[in-house]
A and B are shown apart, each in its own frame.
Chain A
């Protein structure tokens, strides 16, 4: 069986959930071989094995963290040349797509981004135009490179664990790939909450929240549900919540089991980032707000009344 390369998304030895999702998917397409950049492969080995990884290509070099995107694409290109995989799967995140883009150019391969499913024939499903149309497509040139949306596949441990044999991988990173140097890293903490694109529940606040302090209300609802916090652009533009939590066309695309939109009107640019959520709940005082068109459950009311009561009711159920 041919290998299917999976580019691991991790920070240190913490493996991001999307990596397990991709390994789960890779099992249905061939033999999963994880590509791990930087340190931490040995620590992650057992967990990757549990999801069925047969191999872990470990490329332990600082170059992957010190330069923008290009070194990772060079590593994958060298593995395509040596391992002749059936396909390469990367997370469809901003960086994952950029790596995929460079790799496609380098190897003369076709590229599909934002896939939500891939079948045994490597036919990929992609929602486009904010989920209004679903396209199925196939790569016809080179090695199929497919960027898969986080949260689209549910991660499942393999029936029989994989060997996850660690294979040291070294690629000679060219000078050209080291042209954009990362000289500083600013981490704005998300605290204990799950990561936005990985979370199974997301609670987002918009302009209706009114100010930065009131976002504590959104956070309390999120915490009562074990959810991540998101925000509309109106809220991030106003500086009420950091920009990396923006959901929408120019923010994150999320597809959680449950999305709760509080004080958000539902502009098309916001919908583009949350429309494929499985269940959508809306709290908004304007019954005409377009976001209600998407709601599985909507409450027309003042968020300052509804949200505290909802949080109380959730806590009561949790304790009772």
Chain B
């Protein structure tokens, strides 16, 4: 199937700003799905609110564009009612970790099979560049004109601590790795978290004088390193990318089926 058959061409041009990293995520996601040979009809995409969440309008799967922060809660209902479907939940950093933070840790704890993609551009783009829980200490935003004093989360560490059975990180610079990780994440039987560092040249980049979109992507190249690399030992500030966790843990929907089966024994 050609990649363009997975998109709703009538919804284009998309709303993302020139240079936004989210289009690269859409591209890699479609390539991953194409390489897996999945049918459009077996995929449900559930998104919340924000620039990243608009991705659900552009793909020709079953799509639900839901409330801010609640995508994983809606997706849990979808998955429990039709466990045979592949559920993909694209979110932004504010959507997933601020207003939706509680849903995020509990979906991870349950280990329900779905793929949570967090496009981390470290800002609320859609509402005009307010700082998010991922902006980080010492950054600038429209609500932090004199530097932000809030510390950020480490999404991967938090996902692991909350119990996610697949956790990975990549960037919009590393497009091939992104597609490969997304394939693994979609195939994984359990809650998969893929953090993708994505550039927002319009707000985060401009407020923090990070140059053009290409400059920001160069920084993703320069400031990241494969998990466990020698470079990381020499420079602990480098951000690791790759698959942190990929383990077999009983999945929620199948455990539920087993529970019913056991309870019904002898009847």
| A and B: bona fide binding partners | no
Instruction: Identify the B interface with A (CB < 8 A).
Output: none
